[in-house]
Chains A and B, each alone.
Chain A
Amino acid sequence: MRILQLVSIAVILGAWEAVARAGWVDPLFVPAPSAVAYAFAKVAASAFAGLGDTLAKTAIAYVLSVVLGVAGGVLLGSVRPVRQAVNPFVIALYGMPKILVLPWIVLMLGFGTLPAVVYGTIHGVFPILVLVTGAVRDVDRSLLTVARAFGARRWQLYWKVVLPAIVPTVLVGMRLGLVFCLLGVLIVEMFAGVRGMGHVMSSLANGFQAPELFAATALVSAASIVIVLSLDALNDRLSHWRGDVR
């Protein structure tokens, strides 16, 4: 299976290289893989700096998303009147394309780190909030009743029953939220960035530097795949440790 995957990737790259060398495509728009690899050496310095900047913003936005999403989800999930009043709005905001508020956020917060963090958080918080709300709402009633019957206090209910019950959902939300946060940060950097990977990529595109742009794109893609896969691996470890049956 691995071999088939590797072979097909090699075939695609080889065919691409051949097509580009044969001159069937304009190298201005579709550079050969070898040219991309060569360009990578040239953009590596600025691309890695941009990537570091982007990932730092994403990390802040991500922490904010997880904290706000879990806290809000526990609140909405456990207080029924609040949930009934607010939940339709949360769902609507989750579904609404956030790109529509991007110009306003940039108007308000200017160029730089803050709009990227805010916009990344707006992207990341909703999936976590919606998932956690559902999980807290669906916590097994009998567990809560039993805990109460044994004299558990309110904080003990949350700490000992609700939180352990929602951990799997929180992890799913965290995986979704991470990609959304990165997406939000990159969009802001492309729209109104002065630093970061999104800015690097959009200036390469505007300068028609296709090989450099492809190299930068490959770098971000590889970075996000690695991050998500390692989060998945961590998740698997944790569910083994909890003894989940998968």
Chain B
Amino acid sequence: MRVALIRVALVAVLLGIWELIGRTANPLLYVPPSAAVPALGRLLRLESYPDLGEHLLLTVREIVVAYAMAIAAGLGCGFALGLNRLVGRAYGPILAALYAVPAVVWYPSLMLFFGLDAASKIAFGFLLGFFPITLAVLAGIRQVNTQLVTVARAFGASGLTVFRKVMLPSMLFTLVGGLRTGLALTVIGVIVGEVLGSKAGMGSLINHAYGLFRTADYVALVLVTLVLIVGSDAIATLVEHRAQRWTE
């Protein structure tokens, strides 16, 4: 209770300082909360950006497509590498080395190849989401107790049964964690792609508002985008809790 009070007080103090600085400073650079709230209202009433809905929808669509592809490729790659020792030992280190490269270095090439439309954002979101999912599958497979697999096999369980009854329960927790990280990174990838160069989507609106020094609108757009991000994470958390309960 007291901790919650302190947290609320902390937020209030920070907002107060922000308001004070914002009122005295150049309005092109600082936007006090008292100006950000009306800007948010204008944005939500579709006055400042009438086509907000379309841009928001496009961003969501890009995220969904990229994430679906990342799941499919990540699970496929992960199981291919994890279940086959030779393949895993040969290509696992290459994958790990590529993961050490800051992903944004691939973005100019993707932009050149796929153009400024949705495809390059989907490709970048896919790329960011793919790695954590693959690595989570690999880590999960390593967690499976090989003795359990052997015993199940000895009692005549088929490959599919072993997978469903023995492997999946013991690796599910790690797997779902990886899927959640993958979603967060896919969302970031799509938005980074949109900010760095695009014609539509939330990132392009943010870039537009920034380019015209419409700083209040920029803050409002960031708040709307944050809701999208936090919402996607909340869904992922829900799924994670479900999976946790199922394993226990």
Q: Which residues of A contact B (CB under 8 A)?
A: 1, 4-5, 8-9, 29-30, 81, 84-86, 88-89, 95-97, 99-104, 106-108, 179-180, 182-183, 186-187, 190-191, 198, 201-202, 204-205, 208, 210, 213-214, 217, 220-221, 224-225, 228-229
Contact = CB atoms under 8 A, between A and B. Distances in A.
B226 A202 contact: no
Interface in B35-59: none
B100 A97 contact: no
Contacts of A224: 100-102, 105
Given A183-B103, A187-B192, A213 B109 contact: yes
Interface stretch (B89-97, B140-148, B166-174): B89-97
B102 A85 contact: no
Contacts of A86: 10
Interface of B: 3, 6-7, 10, 28-29, 86, 89-91, 93-94, 97-98, 100-109, 111-113, 184, 187-188, 191-192, 195-197, 203, 206-207, 209-210, 213, 215, 218, 222, 225-226, 229, 233
Contacts of B108: 190, 201-202, 204-205, 213, 217
15 contacts: A5-B94, A29-B113, A89-B7, A96-B229, A99-B188, A103-B210, A179-B102, A183-B102, A191-B195, A198-B104, A213-B109, A217-B106, A220-B101, A224-B100, A224-B102
Contact of B100 (A85, A107, A229): A229
Contacts, number: 120
A52 to B, nearest CB: 16
B190 to A, nearest CB: 10
B112 A99 contact: no
Contacts of A9: 94
Contacts of A217: 105-106, 108-109
A29 B29 contact: no
A107 B210 contact: yes
B115 to A, nearest CB: 10
Contacts of A84: 3, 6
B93 A210 contact: no
B42 to A, nearest CB: 19
B112 A210 contact: yes
A88 B7 CA distance: 9
A220 B104 CA distance: 11
B228 to A, nearest CB: 10
B29 A103 contact: no
Nearest to A30: B113
A106 B28 CA distance: 12
B11 to A, nearest CB: 8
B112 A103 contact: no
Given A103-B218, A217-B105, A224-B102, 9 more contacts: A1-B90, A97-B191, A103-B209, A107-B213, A107-B215, A182-B102, A214-B109, A217-B109, A221-B105
A205 B109 contact: yes
A6 to B, nearest CB: 10
